[in-house]
Structure 1
Amino acid sequence: MSLWVILPVSLPVFTITGIWVVYVMALYNQHVCPVNNWIYNESCEERLPQQRGPVFCCTLDNIPLISKCGTLAPESCFFSLTCTTGSFMVMLIGLLRYAHVIEKHQNCVLNVASLSTGWICAAGLFILGIFPVDLVKVLHYIGAGVAFPCSMLFVSLQSALTYRLAKTQGQYGVAHLRVGMALLALIALVLSGAFFVQESFVLQHASAIFEWIYCMLIMLFYGTFAFEFRGMSRDTLIILVRGERLQNFSSDSKPKSEFHSISNHHQPEVLTIL
């Protein structure tokens, strides 16, 4: 088994753990209300960090959206670290997956499109991570507007690509798994976006919950690349440099070897005639 399998496994472990740590820190510092809170008010006499008591007064500013959890210090530092590191890992996994498809099969439009959308998603994740929503709202929303749709497009393209390349029963099983995760992620993304623009406090809180579900599903989808990465070799890295399958080079050299074998076969006959 290749050590490259650690990379797709470590991405969901690191990012999911990271965003939950950010949530716990924000909850401890009373920057957001807990996810099990469904009661919100138009306004409060005191801001949430100044409140004391078992029951807190929450407004829309305290809804536990992932971005809201990582807005204020000190959790904002960990949120930026999680997003920037995760974006780099997303780019690396997408690039290695692109080369692995070329190595084991051949390049295609789906493979190129998946690489492009994966890298665009990583760029959006990087932007929303370094620009907090309450401080630089426009850039944060631009990053989110890029990362969320592109991540959905990436998992959809990868699901289709997995079906196209599947040959064994196990590979078809992985394809079924990815399609199921992609469908659940699509439902969570649509519901999160639809509820987010509503004026109802309950629906906006539900939007935050579906956002958490969507992000965890996307990260777990990246973890399924461990099935392909366990068979990865150093030839995959060579393909990244050469840009094509190694078999192409061996096939180009085949006529030359056949020519030498033919010439060596007829050489004794020529000597006999002489």
Structure 2
Amino acid sequence: MWSYLFLLPIILALWAIAGIWIVFAIAVGNRSVDLQKGFPFISNCGSYAPQSCIFSQVLNTGAALAIWICIVRYHQLRDWGVKTWQNQLILWSGLLCALGTSIVGNFQEKNQKPTHLVGAFLAFILGNLYFWLQFFLSWWTKGLPQPGPRWIRLLRLSFCSLTTILIVAMIILYSQRMRSASAACEWAVAMLLFVLFGFFAVDFSSLRGCTLHLEPQLDCSLPQTPTESPNAQMSQML
């Protein structure tokens, strides 16, 4: 099973990219959005039925796949010896990104705009942070395995930098009421984040398994007594 996990990031990237563009095509086809009035935001395309149903399904499924990828990556980094607090910080930023993606899909802008914007913040800002943390970890940690060719790291750096620039540009353009340009930046950011998730296929290609560590939590309020063997307990009863 482990040898096929490299397909998971690829499936997520293809599913999300294809799904969102299908929503766009349906929205244009049924005139829910008018391209003559400007290029629409992703949320505008997914705000009206029937494409809103597809939009929710695509993002919910994508969020579930992203959670799976984040958890597998967490265990992979732990087995590579990454410090717990660093690994947990990366994990939680990825999980919150997935949560934000699901919120965006379920709380359409026209129905619940404040909640939708919170989800967009989690999806875009924390999603970008998640990949920056991954990159900095691989850059600073000596001896950390680097699967794949060397240009993968440079490509990740380029995509993370471009995503950050586009997020800033999206916010500035929106504040200047340049909605079409801001929407184009939003679409580019979404595509880049999905592709960055797809790059985990390179890391998972060398994955052969993960170990699960269970540590029992002792209750310090109770006195600790040596555990007797079953034979000794039986002899006391007799």
Whether 1:128 and 2:104 are equivalent positions in the alignment is: yes
Please tell me the root mean square deviation across aligned C-alpha atoms, in Å. 2.0
Greater shift in the superposed pair: 151-160 or 97-106: 97-106
Count of residue correspondences: 212
**1:140 corresponds to which residue?**
116
Q: Note closer, same or farther for the CA distance 1:15–1:169 as it changes in structure 2 (3 Å cut).
A: closer
**2:199 corresponds to which residue?**
224
Q: Match of 1:11, as an amino acid?
A: L
Q: Match of 2:4, as an amino acid?
A: L
Contact in 1 for aligned 2:56/2:105 (Cα 8 Å)? yes
**1:173 corresponds to which residue?**
151
Q: Match of 1:31, as an amino acid?
A: S
How far did 1:242 drift?
3.5
Contact in 2 for aligned 1:166/1:172 (Cα 8 Å)? no
**Which of these residues, 31, 47, 54, is aligned with residue 78 of structure 1?**
54
> Partners of 1:231 and 1:68 in 2: how far apart?
40
Contact in 1 for aligned 2:169/2:185 (Cα 8 Å)? yes
With normalisation by structure 1, the TM-score equals 0.72
Higher gyration radius (CA): 1
Contact in 2 for aligned 1:12/1:220 (Cα 8 Å)? yes
Whether 1:242 and 2:214 are equivalent positions in the alignment is: yes
> Partners of 2:76 and 2:200 in 1: how far apart?
11
Q: Match of 1:127, as an amino acid?
A: I
Compare relative contact order (CA 8 Å, sep 6+) and give the higher one, 1 or 2: 2
Long gaps (5+) in structure 2: 216-238
With normalisation by structure 2, the TM-score equals 0.83
SS in structure 1 at match of 2:110? coil
Whether 1:90 and 2:69 are equivalent positions in the alignment is: no
**Which of these residues, 185, 196, 217, is aligned with residue 174 of structure 2?**
196
Contact in 2 for aligned 1:84/1:125 (Cα 8 Å)? yes
**1:17 corresponds to which residue?**
18
Contact in 2 for aligned 1:111/1:161 (Cα 8 Å)? no
Long gaps (5+) in structure 1: 38-57, 244-274
Q: Note closer, same or farther for the CA distance 1:168–1:145 as it changes in structure 2 (3 Å cut).
A: closer
Contact in 1 for aligned 2:9/2:200 (Cα 8 Å)? yes
Fraction of identical pairs, as percent: 31
How far did 1:132 drift?
0.8
How far did 1:108 drift?
4.2
SS in structure 2 at match of 1:2? helix
> Partners of 1:6 and 1:242 in 2: how far apart?
28
How far did 1:169 drift?
8.9
> Partners of 1:63 and 1:106 in 2: how far apart?
43
SS in structure 1 at match of 2:87? helix
